[in-house]
Amino acid sequence: FFRSMSENAKTSKSIQKKIKIKHAKDLTKDKSHPKITLLLHQMSQILRETSDIPVPAVFLSDDFKSSVKMSIDFHGISRPSYPSNYKIKLYAPLLFKSLRSKFNVSEDQFLNCFNKSLIQSKRWNDIYKSHDKMFWVRYIECDDISGFLSLISHYYNHIVIYNNTNFLPMYVGLCRIFYNGKYAYVIIMKNPIHTPVAEKVDKQT
């Protein structure tokens, strides 16, 4: 049905594992946004397969620049909206895993949110919500990616020090997909409106 052109997940440091692609037929069920569906599906697969890799106690400069890349070649998918092959990249996967923990988001909770179709925002065309509305998924520009990555170490350190009183956006994932000859960048954040009322009150007092 399909085969992987390159099944190696690579990072600049700790992640070097074989990734198995599973349940590819599920990708054809979502008719609204195949690009997002492909990206989040494979992101979930990679994170599940590398879930046993521990988060370092201290992040070094190389950790902020780490990434996981994967290239997939599909066969037998008849829907024209899907490409025959595509590439994805996850930025700083262990760093964002640490951030999710600091934002009280478990890995199962995070990955299970993307098992169902996303909901497109009625106000913003470039924003989607997970089915439980706990996460926002947003397209961003390449220039914004460069700026964000240049500040990610400062962002992480701020969260570590001020997490209990933090009012910055809660970023939990950053990805790229090469799709139909173009790159698309997606950032995932925890929905601030989804934060429990008691937690909001605690942060304000």
pLDDT tens-digit map of 77-89: 555 556 667 788 9
DSSP string, 82-119: S-SEEEEEEESHHHHHHHHHHTT--HHHHHHTTSS--E
131 located within any domain? yes
Average pLDDT in the 157-170 region? 87
25 located within any domain? no
Average pLDDT in the 131-159 region? 89
Domain hosting 156: range is: 34-190
27 located within any domain? no
How many domains does the chain divide into? 1
160 located within any domain? yes
183 located within any domain? yes
200 located within any domain? no
pLDDT at 197 over 90: no
pTM equals: 0.75
pLDDT tens track for 115-144:
777 777 777 667 888 888 889 888 888 888
Average pLDDT in the 180-196 region? 81
121 located within any domain? yes
Q: Tell me, what CATH number does 164's domain have?
A: 3.30.800.10
129 located within any domain? yes
